[in-house]
A and B are shown apart, each in its own frame.
Chain A
Amino acid sequence: MRNTYTAIQKETLDTVEPQDSSVYLSVDDAQYGMESSDETTMPEPSLPTADRDLAVKTKRRSFVVIRPAEESGRVFLPLQQWEGVVVHVDEDEFTAILTDKTHPGNPEEEVVLDCQEIPEDDQSLLQPGAVFYWSIGYEEEPGQPRRRVSQIRLRRLPKWTRRELEEAERKAMEFADLFR
């Protein structure tokens, strides 16, 4: 739901053409939570019923309209996909172990790839231990010739939580005991 969003002030809300899958949320929901009913009103009746059901509007808040990204009509047809783990990074190249996701019976392979294969947005994530997905296939777009593409995306995951780290410290003491 948070793919693409646009902040719109209340007074301009009526000028926005609502879309079926748009979601209207208060900017301050996270801070205030749900307000009491006397502060909450339904949005303008001009909005479609589905949007009215989803909308939460308060007297003192502005709105964020969350919309799905516009569909480009672009379709990716995968031919081959791997999951990889980076084991070493040089200035221009990196070494990775690949697991074949298309043919899971295949053994793992070690490969050296050009750092240029990594999208610019992901370059900062390229470090030993990083997990990535590599797909080769065809990209089709209306009115365009079919293209053969190769794309690598690095996996983004949240950091370890304090609770996980504390649990690890507790378990580590048990492991250390195995050596005594």
Chain B
Amino acid sequence: MSEPLHSPPPATALEVSLFSCGVGECLAVHLGNGDWMLVDACRTHRQDLPLNLAYLEKLGMDLNRAVKLFVITHWHDDHIDGAAEIVKRCPDARICFSSALCRDEFFRLVACYAQTNSIVDRERSGVREMGRILQILRERKADPTYHPYHPPVLTQADHLLYRPGNCHVVALSPSPEAVIRAYEDISQIWKSLTDGSAGKIRSEATSTKP
């Protein structure tokens, strides 16, 4: 096993670091000139920082400015745990969501699980973490000291996400077909909540892609 890195990469270096905990993976990518991209979030313990953010902190990076791009690939628990903490601590970062998530049904689903009077476990579920992220953005948008407000970027395959210099970041997914499938999945989950076909239990909103 290689030695952990304790010093920032050179300004011209492209560095990709993959982190993994018991369940989940995330990335920290140095794009050059001290600019970073974080992809997804995971953490070993609920109270910890996400591993990719903790890495930047260990390198002594100024989190307020260093993170330029934060990509949330999907809302499965193993890729989004702690993502709200990244949004909160990295106000300069452009946040990228899959365009499949910009649907009324998805926002209703998030709002439903984010309700404070919900009796389901509030500490779990990727959809609840999405709720925390949207809540932070909501407060940020309403804050007059935080302007201009930049809405999250909705991505699809082949979208150019970042081009600061020689380094380009391009999304490879989701494909239009995957987006349509996700629309259908999300609509189905919402329908099951509203028509009672969810059955006898109130379950966690879990899997759908992207």
- Which residues of A are in contact with B by a Cβ distance under 8 Å? 83, 85-88, 97, 99, 105-110, 124-125, 127-131, 154-160, 164-165, 167-176, 178-180
State A83–B124 Cα separation when bound (angstroms): 11
Number of interface residues, chain B, beta carbon within 8 A: 45
User: Is the CB–CB distance between A154 and B151 below 8 Å?
Assistant: no
B8–chain A nearest beta-carbon distance, Å: 27
In the complex, the answer to whether B23 meets A179 with C-beta atoms within 8 Å is no
Within B39-92, the residues touching A (CB, 8 Å) are 44-45, 77-78
Q: In the complex the two chains form, is A165's CB within 8 Å of B205's CB?
A: no
Complex: chain A residue closest to B24, CB-CB: A108
B138 contacts A by Cβ under 8 Å: yes
The reply to whether A129 and B206 contact each other, CB–CB distance below 8 Å, is yes
Question: Cβ of A175 and Cβ of B154 under 8 Å apart?
Answer: no
Residues on A with C-beta less than 8 A from B111 are 167-172, 175
Separation in Å of the A100 CB from the closest CB of chain B?
A: 10
Residues of A within 8 A of B202 (CB): 157-160
B115: chain A residues at CB < 8 Å are 164, 167-168, 171
Q: Which of B24, B117, B206 contacts A85 (CB 8 A)?
A: B206
Chain A contacts for B154, CB-based, 8 A: 179
What is the distance, in angstroms, from B182's C-beta to the closest C-beta of chain A? 15
Task: Write 10 A-B pairs (CB below 8 A) sorted by A numbering.
Answer: A97-B77, A124-B200, A156-B201, A157-B201, A159-B196, A169-B108, A170-B111, A171-B107, A178-B152, A180-B151
